[in-house]
Structure 1
Amino acid sequence: MTPDGSMSNRKISHSRHVVCDEYYTPYSMVAEGINPYRDRFAGRHVLLNTNDGDWSAFWQYMTGHYHELGLASLTSLEYCAEHATLFAGPADHGRIHRYDGVRHTVEDVMDSGGYDSPTGRRELARADMVVGNPPFSRLGEYLPLLADSDVLFLVVGNLNALCYTDVFPLFRQGRIMPAVHDGQTAAWFILPFEPDHATVRRRDNLGRPMIRVSRTAWLTNLRTKPVMFKPAHLYDSKVNRTYDGMTVVDCPSRNLIPCDWEGRIGAPASVLSRWPQGWRPVGVLGQGPGMVRPCIDGREQFRRLLLERGSWRPGLHAK
């Protein structure tokens, strides 16, 4: 974002021609997400590896609160999608923005500046904490990359990502959790251009169009206490049907998780935002590679989390 809050013509032009799931995070959302963890930033080398240099709300918030948070340094990658493409020009390369509380410096790099580029991996190895809003479609590779890098992270993402093949084991181990929130899983994001196919229902204070994205949450490996609830529904064989070929009963909604059932259940993904007490995750039933598809009378059901009775302390192994 440019200093006056507008987006550069080049970025807008590029966005118009690229179908993606990247939405710009409003400043207010950044502030609300970081606020519960403000005391975890002191002395940290913070990396923004998905936020386009110095124009995102993350950069604005971090530079504006640099001394309050007690940061040791702030680094932001500026990604160039055209790098190494057929249409790349001499100036099409990534950049690194650095801020030390006084000076803002910029340096060119010889690659795209993406989070998975050589530059991105090198900067990740130097960081203590990562903050940002990665493309939701890349969360399946992005979150394991952060987990393997042994950094603290607090990023915006889609809750469904916790069910992905390479992410679910991290969730099951309590190494990545939804951050503290009120149980709501939708948020408003700024669109990079004026949409031609939808009616704009909200604009920010600068008149930019916004879109409501469902199942959105902050995902983190910082010590947190997810929202939980105590199931009260009594098992009903007409409601809690058994899956074909499995001794697992279905729960069409989280409110229909039976409090008096001792076997395994298939719970809807909505439990990711409000977790049922007394249950622990053991797997995912769905359409992914290697997954068992839950069916009732031959009809395939939506993705389900496979839960069983047992103690599970969400976030216990967070940092």
Structure 2
Amino acid sequence: MANTNLTAAKKAKNDEFYTQYHDIEKEINAYLDYNPNVFKGKTILLPCDDPEWSNFTKFFAQNFERFGLKKLISTSYAVDSKLYKNGYQVTMFEESAPQYDSKKTRKKGKIFTLTRDISGDGKIDVDDLEWNYLKGDGDFNSPEVKTLRNEADIIITNPPFSLFRDFLKWIREADKQFVIIGNMNAITYKEVFPLIKENKMWLGNGFHAGNAFFATPFAEEYGEGVYYPETGLVKFRNVCWFTTIDHGKRHQPLQLMSMTDNLKFHKKLKGQEAYDRYANFDAIEVPFTDAIPSDFKGAMGVPISFLDKYNPDQFEILGSSRTLGVPISQIAEKGTYMQGGPRFYIPNDDGTYRRMYDRIVIKHKKPVK
């Protein structure tokens, strides 16, 4: 259900999802644990944000000095560019500011910056944020936000799910480091997978137990199991962090059993005499990450969720089911398989072929003994 609702949100462009403070804290701390100076002297840009409500802005502003930041920049879209604009109310924070303009507040985006102690309390934190209106509506593709992008060292945000491809391209045009949230299925995009394969982007530390909770103005539009009335939040399971910043989890080796032991002891493989093999590509099917055999020397097809445990020192990514394999139509008779995009197929005993979900193809990096 979560995947269905997230897909619906993308299509409808209901992209106002606000990340929880503790999720941001958990993710950023993973990078700091690996490298305490990762943000020192850096300018961080938080685009596609809403500084008055966003936990990204609050988190980095509150930790400005601890992280040793040089500058924090946060920008938001104009109210009139949002789907829930008719329910918008000016906050006291904005209305009481000397630069408040009743005409600009709906038409213009806003920019918040943090560089110095303006409150006079001897520290730099959220109370020292300075803000003004942007010249335009705050679209990340606008020239003024591109200028801010070019100034920044690291870009961190939860971009609109419907614009993930465009946003990633926007970041890479300027060759910036980043930490962004996206749909797990983005791994299969032709714009994304090559970056992961070439070790130019990877998954972050991740959400607790794989559950991402967001606040959204559209929360009540989601069904049971996604919308939680007691908290007012929505939960998605297929959401992850994408990043170019290293963290310790990425270098933890997977503890694996041999092929024989997996077939004998793995609860979900017990009863199988052997691992299945694909009909249209020379690799074995490994349906669960923890079922990867430690002693298999060839290619293995694994679920895309494997990337959450992927250690580049332990495994090599060869490709995916969308880029490898012979078209099933070349080796199977019509009517014996389910048609669709490029996929791997497993032969059944009755002469038909079972189409698999997207798979990533890997092999052990170090020689298997």
TM range, normalised to the smaller chain? Answer: 0.7 to 0.9
Larger Rg: 2
Quote the residue 1:219 is aligned against.
242
Quote the residue 1:34 is aligned against.
28
Quote the residue 2:54 is aligned against.
56
RMSD: 3.4
Once residues 286 and 279 of structure 2 are traced to their aligned partners in structure 1, the CA distance between those partners, rounded to angstroms, is 14
Describe the SS at the equivalent of 1:275. Answer: coil
Following superposition, the deviation at residue 35 of structure 1 comes to 2.1
Q: 1:292 to 1:130 in 2, by over 3 A?
A: same
Quote the residue 2:95 is aligned against.
none
Following superposition, the deviation at residue 177 of structure 1 comes to 1.9
Q: 1:180 to 1:243 in 2, by over 3 A?
A: same
Asked if the contact 1:233–1:255 (Cα under 8 Å) also holds between the matched residues in 2, the reply is no
Following superposition, the deviation at residue 194 of structure 1 comes to 4.5
Once residues 284 and 99 of structure 1 are traced to their aligned partners in structure 2, the CA distance between those partners, rounded to angstroms, is 43
Following superposition, the deviation at residue 21 of structure 1 comes to 4.5
Unaligned runs of 5+ in 1: 1-14, 313-319
Describe the SS at the equivalent of 1:50. Answer: strand
Quote the residue 2:362 is aligned against.
307
Bigger drift between 76-85 and 210-219 goes to 76-85
Aligned residue type for 2:240: A
User: Which of 294, 303, 311 is 1:268 aligned to?
Assistant: 303
Do structure 1's residue 69 and structure 2's residue 67 form an aligned pair?
yes
Q: 1:73 to 1:171 in 2, by over 3 A?
A: same
- Output aligned runs, 1:122-141, within 5 Å: 122-141=147-166
Quote the residue 1:158 is aligned against.
183
Once residues 81 and 262 of structure 1 are traced to their aligned partners in structure 2, the CA distance between those partners, rounded to angstroms, is 56
More helix by share: 2
Once residues 84 and 219 of structure 1 are traced to their aligned partners in structure 2, the CA distance between those partners, rounded to angstroms, is 25
Do structure 1's residue 292 and structure 2's residue 342 form an aligned pair?
yes
Following superposition, the deviation at residue 108 of structure 1 comes to 2.9
Asked if the contact 1:280–1:307 (Cα under 8 Å) also holds between the matched residues in 2, the reply is yes
Quote the residue 1:279 is aligned against.
315
Aligned residue type for 2:14: C
Do structure 1's residue 201 and structure 2's residue 195 form an aligned pair?
no
- Output aligned runs, 1:68-147, within 5 Å: 68-80=66-78, 82-83=80-81, 91-101=106-116, 102=118, 103-147=128-172
Asked if the contact 2:177–2:245 (Cα under 8 Å) also holds between the matched residues in 1, the reply is yes
Q: 1:124 to 1:141 in 2, by over 3 A?
A: same
Q: 1:182 to 1:111 in 2, by over 3 A?
A: closer
Q: 1:167 to 1:194 in 2, by over 3 A?
A: closer
Following superposition, the deviation at residue 19 of structure 1 comes to 4.5
More strand by share: 1
Following superposition, the deviation at residue 301 of structure 1 comes to 0.7
Describe the SS at the equivalent of 2:69. Answer: coil
Following superposition, the deviation at residue 76 of structure 1 comes to 0.9
Overall identity of the aligned pairs, in %: 23
Aligned residue type for 2:321: L
Following superposition, the deviation at residue 59 of structure 1 comes to 0.9
- Aligned residue pairs total 290
Following superposition, the deviation at residue 135 of structure 1 comes to 2.2
Please report the TM-score for the alignment, with normalisation by the length of structure 1: 0.78
Aligned residue type for 1:156: I
Asked if the contact 1:286–1:302 (Cα under 8 Å) also holds between the matched residues in 2, the reply is no
Aligned residue type for 1:37: Y
Following superposition, the deviation at residue 159 of structure 1 comes to 3.3
Q: 1:309 to 1:65 in 2, by over 3 A?
A: closer
Quote the residue 1:257 is aligned against.
292
Quote the residue 2:99 is aligned against.
none
Asked if the contact 2:110–2:132 (Cα under 8 Å) also holds between the matched residues in 1, the reply is yes
Asked if the contact 1:184–1:273 (Cα under 8 Å) also holds between the matched residues in 2, the reply is no
Residue deviations 1:102-121 (CA, integer Å, cap 9, x gap): 35333333433122332222
Describe the SS at the equivalent of 1:198. Answer: coil
Describe the SS at the equivalent of 1:184. Answer: helix
Asked if the contact 1:96–1:108 (Cα under 8 Å) also holds between the matched residues in 2, the reply is yes
Once residues 207 and 107 of structure 2 are traced to their aligned partners in structure 1, the CA distance between those partners, rounded to angstroms, is 42
Asked if the contact 2:111–2:132 (Cα under 8 Å) also holds between the matched residues in 1, the reply is yes
Unaligned runs of 5+ in 2: 1-8, 86-102, 119-127, 264-271, 328-340, 348-352
Asked if the contact 1:280–1:311 (Cα under 8 Å) also holds between the matched residues in 2, the reply is no
